[in-house]
A and B are shown apart, each in its own frame.
Chain A
Amino acid sequence: MTRRATLIKRERVDRPQLLLLDGGNTLWGDAGLAAQTQGRVMVEAMNLMGYSAMALGELDLQLGADALRERMAEASFPFLSANLVINSTGQLLARPYVLLDAGGRQVAVIGLTGSGSVPTAPGEQAPLEEPLSPWDGSDQPVDVPRSRQRAPLGGPAHVIGALAVTDPAHALSKALYALRWRTDVIIVLSNLGWEANARLAQSVRGLDLVVSAGPGQLMASPWRAPGTGTPVAQCGVYPQQQPGSLLGKVRLHVDSAGAVDRCFGSHTALSSQIVGDVEMRDLLRRFQKLCVHPRESA
Chain B
Amino acid sequence: MQRTPTFRRTAPRRWGGRAAPWALVLALASALAVASACTTGPTAVVPPTIRAALPSATPQGIDLAVLYTSDTVGHTDPVSAVECG
Contact = CB atoms under 8 A, between A and B. Distances in A.
Contact of B52 (A180, A270, A272): A180
A226 interface: yes
Interface string B52-85: 1111111111111111111111111111101111
B6 interface: no
Given A182-B55, A203-B45, A206-B51, A253 B61 contact: yes
Contact of A236 (B45, B59, B71): B71
Contacts of B71: 23-26, 57, 191, 213-214, 236-238, 240, 243
Given A32-B85, A205-B51, A153 B70 contact: no
B54 A292 contact: no
Contacts of B56: 104-106, 184
Interface stretch (A73-81, A88-96, A125-133, A281-289): A281-289
B38 interface: yes
Nearest to A261: B61
B61 to A, nearest CB: 4
B49 A180 contact: yes
B54 A33 contact: no
A94 to B, nearest CB: 16
A41 B76 contact: yes
Given A34-B75, A184-B56, A203-B38, A176 B69 contact: no
Contacts of A25: 70-73
A98 to B, nearest CB: 14
Contact of B75 (A174, A179, A243, A276): A243
A204 interface: yes
A111 B52 CA distance: 22
B52 A251 contact: no
Given A203-B43, A235-B68, A34 B57 contact: no
Interface residues of B, number: 53
Contact of B34 (A8, A27, A176, A291): A176
A41 B84 CA distance: 12
Interface in A41-94: 41-42, 45, 57, 59
A242 B78 CA distance: 6
Interface of A: 1-4, 8, 11, 15, 17-36, 39, 41-42, 45, 57, 59, 102-107, 141, 149, 153-154, 167-170, 172-174, 176-177, 179-187, 191, 199-200, 202-206, 208-209, 211-214, 225-228, 233-240, 242-258, 261, 270, 272, 276, 281, 284-285, 288, 291-292
Interface of B: 26-27, 30-31, 33-35, 37-39, 41-47, 49-80, 82-85
8 contacts: A31-B85, A176-B47, A177-B27, A177-B47, A211-B70, A247-B68, A252-B64, A256-B57
The 8 closest A-B pairs by CB, nearest first: A34-B74, A29-B74, A23-B70, A236-B71, A213-B70, A206-B50, A169-B38, A203-B37
Given A35-B74, A181-B52, A292-B84, 12 more contacts: A18-B65, A22-B69, A26-B72, A30-B73, A177-B27, A177-B31, A186-B50, A202-B44, A208-B64, A233-B68, A284-B76, A288-B84
